[in-house]
C-alpha cells in the first residue's frame, strides 16, 4: 500500500521533470486536494493555488483516494479533457464533473473570467483501455505509473507483471530524488 506522502513525493518528481525541454508542463495536486474539494468545496482549496497558475500548464495530475483505493484524474488543457484512470476499472464521472466545476471557480477567482467549457470532454478510461491491477495492493503504483506515462505523453502500456520492478525503481527514484 502507498501512503499519501509517497504519492505526493513522486508527483513532485514528475512536476520537476516536466520543466525539461519537450515535455508537457505539469502541475500535480496534493493527495488531499480532491477529498477536500469534494467534501468542503472550492473555498476550502482556493488558497492551494495561490502561487500557481494552473491554467498555464498542459496537464493537471489529481491523485484521488477512495478510502483504500488510489486512482488518478488528469486535466489536459491541450486536448480539453478530464480523464479518470482506475486500475480496477471503476468509472467516476462525478470526479470529472467536480474537477470541471473547480476549473470554472478557479478561473473566476484567479483570472476574473468565465472558464470556457465548450468542447471539453469528461472521460473515464474503461478497463480494456488501460492496464488493470490483478491484486488488492498495487493501486498506488498503478496511479503513479499512469501519471508518469501521461506526463511524458507516452502510451500507457505496462502490466501487472512490471510492478515488482516499478516498486524497486520507484524506491531508487525517491531515495535519489530523481526519476530514471
Which of these is catalytic: 86, 96, 138, 144? 86
Instruction: Give dist(CA 52, CA 132) in Å, integer.
Output: 33
Is 176 among the residues known to form the active site? no
Radius of gyration of the chain (CA): 16
Instruction: Give dist(CA 59, CA 36) in Å, integer.
Output: 20
33-40 and 93-106 helices cross at what angle (nearest 10)? 80
Is 27 among the residues known to form the active site? no
Is 139 among the residues known to form the active site? yes
Which of these is catalytic: 58, 69, 149, 162? 69
Three state DSSP letters for 90-157: CCCHHHHHHHHHHHHHHHHHHHCCCCCCCCCEEEECCCCCCCCCCCCCCHHHHHHHHHHHHCCCCCCC
Which of these is catalytic: 71, 96, 139, 144? 139
Query: Which residues are known catalytic residues?
Result: 69, 86, 139
Amino acid at each position: 500500500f502507498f501512503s499519501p506522502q509517497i504519492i505526493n513525493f513522486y508527483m513532485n518528481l514528475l512536476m520537476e521533470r516536466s520543466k525539461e525541454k519537450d515535455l508537457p508542463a505539469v502541475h500535480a495536486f496534493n493527495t488531499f486536494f480532491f477529498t477536500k474539494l469534494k467534501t468542503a468545496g472550492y473555498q476550502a482549496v482556493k488558497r492551494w493555488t495561490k502561487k500557481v497558475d494552473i491554467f498555464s500548464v498542459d496537464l493537471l495530475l489529481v491523485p484521488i483516494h477512495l478510502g483504500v483505493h488510489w486512482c488518478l484524474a488528469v486535466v489536459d488543457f491541450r486536448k480539453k479533457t478530464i480523464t479518470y484512470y482506475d486500475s480496477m476499472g471503476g468509472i467516476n464521472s462525478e470526479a470529472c464533473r467536480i474537477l470541471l466545476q473547480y476549473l470554472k471557480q478557479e478561473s473566476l477567482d484567479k483570472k476574473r473570467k468565465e472558464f470556457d467549457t465548450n468542447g471539453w470532454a469528461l472521460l473515464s478510461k474503461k478497463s480494456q483501455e488501460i492496464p488493470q491491477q490483478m491484486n488488492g495492493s498495487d493501486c498506488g503504483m498503478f496511479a503513479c505509473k499512469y501519471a508518469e506515462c501521461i506526463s511524458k505523453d507516452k502510451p500507457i502500456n505496462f502490466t501487472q507483471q512490471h510492478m515488482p520492478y516499478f516498486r524497486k525503481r520507484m524506491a531508487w527514484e525517491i531515495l535519489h530524488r530523481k526519476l530514471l
